[in-house]
Amino acid sequence: MDIRSRRRRSGQRLVVTLFGIALLLFLLDAVGVLGNVLNLARGPLAGLIGVGSRLGEWAGRPFGSAETADELAALRARVGALERENEQLRNMTAQVGPALELLGRQNESTEITRVVAAVVGRGPNPLFRDLIINKGTNDGVRVGMAVESARGLVGQIYRASANASQVLLIDSPESAIPARLSQSRADGIVKGGGAGGLLVMNWLSLEAQVVLNDIVVTSGLSNSTPEERIANRFPPGIVLGRITDVQRSPANLFQDAVVQPVVDFNSLETVFVLTGFTPVDNNQFAPQTP
């Protein structure tokens, strides 16, 4: 056997071996064996993406002085903050008055601590909707924490390595967030549609009055599974979006509403990770074990 044919066979063997390794990794990840092992590799790679992001910002900067670019960024942030304030005021208008007078309770606000993070990239898999941020477990970020921007809820931490994290956006198909309508106070679950899909609020009672342009906020309640009931991740009152369409049929037990997110995920530069808040205590509703 000559050198050329030996090299050819070794090349073919390499391809088959790599295919086998990829298949093995796929199966190991499916059964959850890989766990945090991969986080060791994610850190340096996210660092490289961060450098790329800064170069991208530099390349995409508008022509003119650095002061102009800074001023533009500051004005954008100000507009975002004002829009958010407006949404919150509208939400409060719907909340205060009848409900508080009837119950005679004060509107309790939860204390929230936040970590500011820069968005360094978007996930490369178009089937999912996710972001990469430059803060990780070293900064107190943990899996499951809520992430918001100046305008409203962005998503939640899906994976966290030492210095970077992946954020699953609210319009990703894997995302499901307990939500409430501002006006009718009806509860439901906002689920993402992913690539080519819509953000939809499911499980709305047929009796609920769902009106167009109503604001959807997080309810602060937890999902229905026992595990989720204990670990509530989203504080109440964070704006998710507005109702743009209602799908109601008497044949169904519930109605659905299409939600337009308030956050423009393509222009996100800075986000806040909610590292601590006082959640609604749902443990009292958990099934009691004898």
Partner 1 sequence: MLRDPAGPTRALYLSLIVLPFLLAVQVAFLAYRPVLGVMIQLVPACVMAWAIGRDAAEAAVGGFVAGLLIDLLSVGPFGGTALALMIAVWPVEALRRRLPESRLLLPFLLGAVGIFTFSLAGLLLTRLSGYAIPWEAARLLLPTAVLHTPLIFVATVGMQAAGRLFGRRRVEL
| Residues near partner 1, by CB under 8 A | 4-5, 7-8, 10-12, 14-15, 18-19, 21-30, 34, 38, 41-42, 45-46, 48-53, 55-56, 59-60, 120-128, 130, 132, 158-159, 166, 168, 172-174, 193-197, 266
Q: Which residues pair with 241 in a beta bridge?
A: 216, 261
Tell me the closest approach of the beta carbon of residue 281 to partner 1, in angstroms: 29
Residue 37 Cβ vs partner 1, minimum distance, rounded to whole Å: 10
**Spatial contact of 91 and 217, defined as CB atoms under 8 Å apart:** yes
CB of 24 to partner 1, least distance (A): 8
Report, in Å, the least distance between residue 22 CB and partner 1.
4
Instruction: Phi first, then psi: give them for residue 88, nearest 5 degrees.
Output: -65, -40
Closest C-alpha among 218, 167, 212, 172 to residue 195:
172
159 phi and psi angles, rounded to 5 deg: -135, 145
- CB nearer to partner 1: give 140 or 173: 173
Report the alpha-carbon distance of residue 176 to residue 173 in Å, rounded. 8
Using the minimum distance from each CB to partner 1, give the nearer residue, 41 or 212. 41
CA 202 – CA 199 distance, rounded (Å): 10
Nearer to partner 1, 21 or 100 (CB): 21
What Rg do the C-alpha atoms of the chain give, in angstroms? Answer: 23
For the CB of residue 193, give the shortest distance to partner 1 in the complex, in Å: 6
* Least distance to partner 1, CB of residue 187, Å: 21
Please say which residue, 169 or 217, places its beta carbon nearer to partner 1: 169
Residue 11 or 97 with smaller CB distance to partner 1: 11
> CB of 233 within 8 A of CB of 246?
no
Q: Which residue's CB is nearer to partner 1, number 195 or number 231?
A: 195
| Other beta carbons less than 10 A from residue 105's beta carbon | 9
Min dist CB 28 to partner 1, Å, is: 8
SS3 label, residue 186: coil
Contact of 131 with 153, CB cutoff 8 Å: no
Output the smallest distance, CB 141 to partner 1, in A.
16
Q: Which is nearer to partner 1, 13 or 185 (CB)?
A: 13
Question: Based on CB atoms, which residue is closest to partner 1, 58 or 63?
Answer: 58
Distance of CA 180 to the CA centre of its chain: 17
Q: E strands, the chain, where?
A: 112-122, 130-133, 146-148, 153-160, 165-169, 176-181, 187-191, 199-205, 215-218, 239-247, 254-261, 270-277
Per the CB < 8 A criterion, the answer to whether 272 and 116 are in contact is yes
**197 vs 133: CA distance, rounded Å:** 24
